[in-house]
Structures are given as C-alpha cells and as structure tokens.
C-alpha cells in the first residue's frame, strides 16, 4: 500500500519538482552571470506554450516514440519510489533512452542524427558508473531492493563514498550540463543547433521536457538513496545533499566549456574507475 502511494506521489509531483528545480537552475544561472533571469515558473510557461503550438513532425512515429519515452521514464521513477529493485530501474531507464534515440533518428535530419549518436556515446560514458553504483549498493546492503536499502542502520554513503563521487560526476552527463552537454544542451545555443532535439517541436518538445523533469526527480532520488537510513532525520540530510549536488551541477555548468566526446568518455571512465573501482576493491576485500 505504502509503495503504491509513494509511486503515485512520484507520478503526480515529479513534474512539479522537476520543473521547479529547472526554474531554480535558470534563475541561479542568471544570477551567476549577473543577470536578473526569468521567473521561477518559467519552465511551466514554456511547457504551456509548447503545448499550444502547431505540431510539425517529419515523421508521425515521433510522437509515439516520445510518449513511449515518457511512459518508460515514469515507470522507472515509479518502480524506484515504490521501493523495487534499483537495477531494474536503471534498465528501464536505458530502455527509455533508446526510445529517445529512435525519436531523434527517425527524422533523418543531420543535426538530430549526430545528436542521437552522441546520446549513445553519452550512455556509454555514464552506464558503467550507474551499474557500479547498483553493485555497490548490493555489496554493502546485500540487496538491490530500494525499500530494504533505505532501512539500513548506517547511510550507504559511509561504505560507498567512491561510488557517490562517480555517480555525481556522471550526473552532469545525465542532466545535460556543460561540459558534457554534447548530445543536446540544456541551454539554447550549441554547435549542433539543438542536437538531439532539433526536430522536436511543439508537443513533442513539451513531452521531452516533461520526461526530463521525471528523470531529474528520479536521479535526485538516487542521490538521496546514498544518504538515507532507517533514521527519519536522515531524510532531511538527503534533501540537503540533493540541493548541494544540484547547486554544484549548476556551478560546473556555468564555469566550464563543452568538451569533445572522446574526452568526455575518457574523463568519465577514468573517474568511474578511480573512485568507484577503488571503492569496489575495498568493499570486496573487506567482505
């Protein structure tokens, strides 16, 4: 019962939380650049406008693919917040990304095709860290179930600091932030027009944004999972850590330039190997 309520809450409130975080992001970014910035609710205004525009799509299947992407992402988060297997969640999330990839290449536009292939490279860059994080949770908690992980006596981060660093690092890729926003940027301009989303207009772009918000809320949940333990006070700690990580991402976004894909792949794998890999070794030895 509790599981159902939690996942229902996610389905209803995730867009709100994601949208507000997005608005906060734009506001803080603007302040970092010495600007006033858009209102906090700007992402919702954008979504509303996109919903009211005429839909021009080169291929009709694009809308279907985008809806599948959205539904898969909702499923990911719902499974996570219901306390199911975390490994399963990440597999469903990868499936969702595949739908996004197809929605981009189905148009045949050179920009979105390049963006889509870069998205695949991004997946290659972040997948190891994500999977290792799951392994880490299993090694220290003896289970993949989120419901059991949050009931541990000590916070998982005590055993998994390296995994946490690797996960926060690849979060930059997942959130499409500089320096790793190579497939499509969170911001308006980039060298590939809008990369992956070049051919998404009107409702399809709205679906994309909505899915991003679900995804952000899910990822924040995973960050929180590192902190949470059986003590209810740890929830406050988890929320605080999520905000610190979010602020850090904005800071990195605003003071770095986009890198090439090979550099991204190298850096993210090296960081994953060094922090998560070493952490894994220590866990294995101490078992």
Interacting residues with another protein (CB under 8 A): 26, 30, 33-39, 42, 45-46, 48-49, 51-56, 188-190, 193-194, 197-202, 205
Beta carbon of residue 114, minimum distance to another protein (angstroms, whole number) = 14
Beta carbon of residue 7, minimum distance to another protein (angstroms, whole number) = 30
The residue (of 18 and 136) whose beta carbon lies closer to another protein is: 18
Angle CA(85)–CA(86)–CA(91) in degrees, nearest 5? 100
The residue (of 53 and 266) whose beta carbon lies closer to another protein is: 53
The residue (of 51 and 258) whose beta carbon lies closer to another protein is: 51
The residue (of 186 and 275) whose beta carbon lies closer to another protein is: 186
The residue (of 106 and 132) whose beta carbon lies closer to another protein is: 106
Beta carbon of residue 26, minimum distance to another protein (angstroms, whole number) = 8
Beta carbon of residue 111, minimum distance to another protein (angstroms, whole number) = 9
Tokens matching residue 201:
């207009």
The residue (of 17 and 30) whose beta carbon lies closer to another protein is: 30
Beta carbon of residue 47, minimum distance to another protein (angstroms, whole number) = 8
Beta carbon of residue 191, minimum distance to another protein (angstroms, whole number) = 10
Beta carbon of residue 206, minimum distance to another protein (angstroms, whole number) = 11
Q: Would you say 75 and 92 are in contact if contact means Cβ atoms under 8 Å apart?
A: yes
The residue (of 97 and 198) whose beta carbon lies closer to another protein is: 198
Listing DSSP states for the chain in one string gives -HHHHHHHHHHHHHHHHHHHHHHHHHHHHHHHTT-----TTHHHHHHHHHHTSPP--SSTHHHHHHHHHHHHHHHHHHHHHTT-BHHHHHHHHHHHHHHHHHHHHTT--HHHHHHHHHHHHHHHHHHHHHHHHHHHHHHHHS--BHHHHTT-SS-GGGT-HHHHHHHHHHHHHHTT-TTS--SS-SSS-BTTBTGGGTT--HHHHHHHHHHHHHHHHHHHHHHHHTT--SSTHHHHHHHHHHHHHHHHHHHHHHT-----HHHHHHHHHHHIIIIIIHHHHHHHHH-
């Amino acid at each position: 019962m509790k599981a159902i309520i939690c996942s229902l809450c996610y389905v209803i409130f995730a867009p709100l939380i994601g949208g507000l975080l997005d608005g906060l992001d734009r506001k803080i970014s603007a302040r970092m650049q010495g600007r006033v910035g858009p209102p906090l609710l700007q992402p919702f205004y954008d979504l509303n406008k996109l919903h009211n525009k005429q839909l021009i799509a080169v291929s009709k299947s694009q809308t279907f693919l985008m809806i599948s992407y959205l539904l898969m992402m909702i499923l990911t988060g719902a499974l996570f917040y219901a306390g199911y297997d975390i490994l399963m969640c990440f597999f469903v999330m990868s499936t969702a990304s595949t739908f996004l990839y197809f929605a981009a290449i189905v148009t045949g536009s050179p920009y979105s095709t390049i963006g889509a292939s870069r998205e695949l490279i991004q997946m290659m860059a972040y997948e190891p860290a994500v999977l290792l994080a799951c392994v880490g949770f299993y090694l220290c908690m003896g289970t993949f179930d989120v419901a059991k992980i949050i009931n541990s006596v000590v916070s998982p981060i005590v055993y998994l600091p390296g995994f946490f660093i690797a996960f926060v690092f690849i979060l930059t890729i997942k959130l499409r932030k500089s320096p790793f926003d190579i497939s499509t940027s969170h911001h308006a301009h980039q060298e590939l027009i809008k990369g992956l989303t070049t051919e998404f207009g009107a409702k399809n772009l709205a679906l994309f944004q909505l899915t991003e918000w679900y995804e952000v809320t899910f990822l924040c949940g995973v960050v929180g999972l590192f902190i949470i333990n059986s003590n209810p006070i740890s929830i406050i700690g988890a929320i605080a850590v999520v905000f610190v990580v979010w602020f850090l991402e904005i800071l990195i976004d605003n003071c770095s330039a986009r890198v090439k894909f090979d550099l991204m792949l190298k850096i993210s794998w090296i960081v994953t190997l060094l922090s998560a890999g070493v952490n894994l070794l220590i866990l294995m030895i101490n078992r």
